[in-house]
Amino acid sequence: MPRFLTKTGSLQKKYSAWFNLLIVVLLLFCLVFPFIAGNYYMRFAIIIFIYMILSIGYDISAGYCGLLTLSAAAIFGAGAYASAITITTLKLPFFAGMLAAMVVTGLISLTISLPAYKVKGHYLALISLGILEIVHRILNDWISLTQGAAGFFLPPWSIFGITLTNFSKYYVIFFFLILAVLFAWGLVKSHWGRDFLAVKNDEIAAAGVGINNRKFKVIALLVSSMMIGVAGSLYASYSEYISPDTFGFYLTILVLLMVIIGGSGTLSGPAFGVVVVMIVPEFFNASPDLKQIVFGALLIILTQILPGGIAGRIKKRFRAIDDNTDIENVGDRPPISFEKFKVNADGPENILEVSNLTRRFGGLTAVGNLDITVKKGTVHSLIGPNGAGKTTTVNMITGIDKPTEGSVTFNGENITGMEPFLSVKRGIARTYQHVRLFKDMRVIDNVAMGGRIYYTYSMAGAIFHSPKKRKEEKEAYLEAYDCLKLIGLEDKANFDPESLSAGQQKLLEIARALCEKPKLMVLDEPCAGLNETEVAELSEIIKAIKNVGITVLMIEHHMSIVMGISDYITVIDYGRKIAEGTPAEVSVDPAVRKAYLGEEVPTC
């Protein structure tokens, strides 16, 4: 069976034996390491392990979900202090401390993510910077709790009453690193990880495939903070001494650097980054002055020349040389046809009713008192000159914009102002005027994102690779593969979407929409930027979509396709409907000829 589809690229499958061998060798090496290394290197390795947990955690929110926060050090410190206080002051065991760390960091993440709910970019950076400063002040000034700037001493680390030696500390922390890697692995290799990436890449497209952006941002920050909290509690117990100065802005920058160097939004990236960032200062013992300047320069240079970091670069290279050979051995799938996406015929005859729809931006009325009725199973085109309000109308139908007045009824249900991720679940899929693909995912992942609303496995299931997860993922990817076949891009499955031509990208968006198994498909200028052959191909695909009962609402300027495949046409100008009817009716309508087509009818 096509294991590669959900798991690896074909190159990796080819060499999987080597990779497995590598894992075993590495594990063995890490296990025997304390026996061959001195005290110093063992400690060095422990710190590296802790930072790996920290940066892998940070990467979940910053790298995958794109929430660039600057409070990693504060959260790490809060975790360390929470666990230290639990262990020392409350005299509770280590695991209670770790739990306390997770609770406290979780709460802090909420204070960041609730604003992040609304804002992003520099506001998020500023808020988290504020949080960093506030946490730092609390650690310094709440002396009765944290013992202030003098630092906090912990008793020797013991688990279940057994005091750990340096050796056992190494193994305990290594164990936690393995747990963290497995956790992150399970998470990012599931729809959760892809959803985070989708939120980062394009929030509108993410909402368009049914992702509640806000929920996923909160979850990403929560998961990531709790992981950082675990790292903090390990750090406190390992170090037996913590002080507020450790958890300042400098550490935040280091963590940022680790993720940037290694590659944000990748699983192995942070691990790479930690190693580099830990090793570099070793060269500057003689001239500490230069160390920070080098770090600063790395931040500037790497962000620009190596935006994906080391891991990102390797990944890109691999995708570029991936020969997709495995995809041809997909096995004996039944031949695919559009029949698979057939929509049953119940529900009202008028699948979409828009009445009195109005949208005003300040004093400008973009859309005014618009009524449109779309009949089930038809291709309904929306045409009009540039700036006529077509896209605004479609945005209001799909929930991306909220109407000032009026209502939208879909399939008998009032969906006026409904969030896009909810309307997707009711069967509305759409494509965008300017292509919105998830650029950090492969072609096949992009298509599979369309089917994400059908996943039912839980986060726990994702982390433990439950049978349900495996089954659903396999199904989803086989289906996505089928969709790709329908649009003829199956041999590009493992590529980056950016490597496709403009026309192929448009088709890819349609495949993604198709994968949502919609009742209504909204296409916003599907032919823009396509050549004649591609237009012909596309019109065949649209016809096929219509033939299986999916209603199509299309904005298009390309007159031959509009006239060729539309059942009905609505013409709007200045936000108002000026004509409606079959292509034949509309094309002779004097108002249309005057307002839209001009005096001469263009040929294209």
Partner 1 sequence: MQQLIFGLANGSIYALMALAIGMVSSTTGIVNFAHASVVMMGAMVSWWMMVIYGLSYLPALIIAIVVSIVLNIVMYEACVKKLGNLQHNVGWIITLFGASIILDNTARMVFGTEPQAFPYLFEGKMVTIGDANILLHELMMITIAIVIGIVYQTVIKKTRFGRAVRAVAFRPSTAELMGIKSEYIILLCFAMAGAVAAVGGVLIAPITFASYTMTLSIGLKGFAAAVLGGFGNAKGAFIGGLSLGIIESFISIFIPAGIKDSISFVIMIVVIIFLPGGILSAKIFNKNGFASEKV
Partner 2 sequence: MRKNKPFIVLLTLVLMMTLVLSGCGGTAETPDNDEEAAGEVIIGYVGPMTGPSATMGTATKQGAELAIEEINALGGIMGSTIQFVTRDDEADPTKSKTAVEELIDREKVQMMIGQPNSTSVAAAEDYVNQNKIIQILNIATNTALIDPEKYPYTFRTFFPSPVQAEALVNIAKEAGFKNIVLLGDTTALGNDGIAALQAACEAAGVTPVEAITYKSGDADMTPVAEKIKSAGTDCILAWTLGADGAKIVSALSRIGYMDSLTYLGYTGLTLPNFRELAGDGVDRCFTLNGSWSVDAASGQVQLDDARQALYDKIVEKYGKYGAGERTTTPWMIASGYDAIYLYKWAVETAGSFDADAVKEVLETKISDYDMKIGQTDTYRFSAENHEAISGKDLLPVLLDKMATSDKIFGDVNVRGTFEK
Q: Name the binder of 204 from partner 2, partner 1, none, CB < 5-8 A by kind.
A: partner 1
Kindly tell me the burial class for residue 454, based on how many C-beta atoms sit within 10 Å of its own C-beta (0-12, 13-18, 19 or more). middle
CB of 27 to partner 2, least distance (A): 9
Strands (DSSP E) contained in 393-532 are 405-410, 413-414, 428-430, 520-524
- Tell me the DSSP string of 11-64: HHHHTHHHHHHHHHHHHHHHHHHHHHS-HHHHHHHHHHHHHHHHHHHHHIIIII
Closest CB to partner 1 among 11 and 127? 127
245 binds, options partner 1, partner 2, none, Cβ within 5 to 8 A by partner type = partner 2
DSSP assignment of 100-162 equals HHHHHHHHHHHHHHHHHTT--THHHHHHHHHHHHHHHHHHHH-HHHH-GGG-EE-PPPEETTE
Cβ nearer to partner 2, comparing 65 with 267: 267
Q: Which residues bind partner 1 (CB under 8 A)?
A: 66, 68, 70, 114-115, 118-119, 121-123, 125-127, 129-131, 133-134, 137, 140-141, 203-204, 207, 213, 253, 256, 260, 289, 292-293, 295-300, 303-304, 307, 391, 395, 400-402, 432-434
Which CB sits closer to partner 1, 291 or 593? 291
Using a 10 angstrom Cβ sphere, with 0-12 exposed, 13-18 middle and 19 or more buried, the burial of residue 499 is: middle
The phi and psi torsions of 322 (rounded to 5 degrees) equal -65, 125
How far is it, in rounded angstroms, from Cα 398 to Cα 396? 5
Q: Which does 254 bind (CB under 5 to 8 A by kind): partner 2, partner 1, none?
A: none
Query: What's the min distance (Å) between Cβ of 355 and partner 1?
Result: 21
DSSP bridge partners of 379: 552
Q: By C-beta, is 10 or 391 nearer to partner 2?
A: 10
Cα dist from 50 to 47, 102, 154, 457, whole Å: 5, 15, 18, 30
355 binds, among partner 1, partner 2, none (CB under 5 to 8 A by kind): none
CB of 74 to partner 2, least distance (A): 15
Q: Could you tell which of partner 2, partner 1, none binds residue 134, using a CB distance below 5 to 8 A set by kind?
A: partner 1
CB of 326 to partner 2, least distance (A): 11
Q: How far apart are CA 561 and CA 581, in angstroms?
A: 16
Closest CB to partner 2 among residues 40, 160: 40
Q: How far is the CB of 470 from partner 1 (least distance, A)?
A: 34
Provide, rounded to whole angstroms, the least separation between the CB of residue 150 and partner 2: 4
Residue 66 contacts which entry, partner 2, partner 1, none (Cβ below 5-8 A, type-dependent) = partner 1
Nearest distance in Å: CB 410, partner 1: 18
**Environment class of residue 165 by beta-carbon count within 10 Å: exposed (0-12), middle (13-18) or buried (19+)?**
exposed
**Pick from partner 2, partner 1, none: which does 33 bind, CB < 5 to 8 A by kind?**
partner 2
